[in-house]
Amino acid sequence: MTRSLAVAVGLIVLAAPASASAAMLQVTPQKSCYSSGESVSLLGTGFSPLGGADITRDGSPLGSLTTDGNGAFNGILTLGQSSGRKTKTYTATDQAVSTLTASTQITVSAVRVSLSPASGAPGRRMSIKASGFTTGDTLWAHVTKGKSTRTLKIGRLSGACGGLKTRKRLLPQDAALGMHTIQFDTFRRYDRKQKVRDRYTIDVTRG
């Protein structure tokens, strides 16, 4: 199983003017829950022009962003959550005027798939429980062995934080001996570098 967790803040200069008199902070795309590993834009307006804003998460510093001539910034934020889900408060504080602040809350869910039973014949039906997949409506499984990849549709995700429970046969009864890697994500096309995903390996041996 492979887990991913990262938190980063970057800078993209905004072209749109900031006309608001008070500072504002928002996230795009706007969702009620986000996956760990998902990247979003952190948009700020109403800050001091050609200055900077310090960014914190639940009071812990993440870095700073430079504002444009209109007092706006656009930071790229990669969200992280190692287990469960949590609502986190992100705050931007103007570097020139410390009382000029704005906050927004983001709920982040860890990306998890659990399979059972843990052992048995390759063709057995397995119970699949998934959570934290908010980057699409459908969960897919990409089964790879060597250069071969087979993609299976697991089912439709539901709820704000993208979960499901179902039973599926992931390997055929005549599965080849050796290690099979299964990557779960919300994309029909397989990409081993997909950031929002969970992985398992199943070793098929002679009985």
Write the pLDDT tens digit of every residue in 107-146.
999 999 999 998 888 889 999 999 999 999 999 999 999 9
Q: Which residues contact 119 (CB under 8 A, 6 or more apart)?
A: none
State whether the Cα torsion 110-121-182-31 is positive or negative: negative
Domain holding 44, by residue range, is 8-109
The CATH number linked to 54 is 2.60.40.1930
The answer to whether residues 140 and 189 belong to one domain is yes
Domain boundary (109, 134, 150) is at 109
Residues 125 and 105 in one domain: no
Separation of alpha carbons 105 and 75, rounded Å? 15
87 shares its domain with 156: no
Structure confidence at residue 64 as a pLDDT band (50, 70, 90) = very high
- Cα 23 to Cα 11: distance, rounded to the nearest angstrom: 18
pTM of the predicted structure, to 2 decimals: 0.82
| Cβ 71 vs Cβ 46: under 8 Å | yes
Average pLDDT score over residue span 142-151:
95
Q: Are residues 104 and 138 in the same domain?
A: no
Is a pLDDT exceeding 80 seen at residue 10? no
Instruction: Region of 163 please: left (phi>0), alpha (psi -120 to 50) or beta.
Output: beta
Give the count of domains, the chain.
2
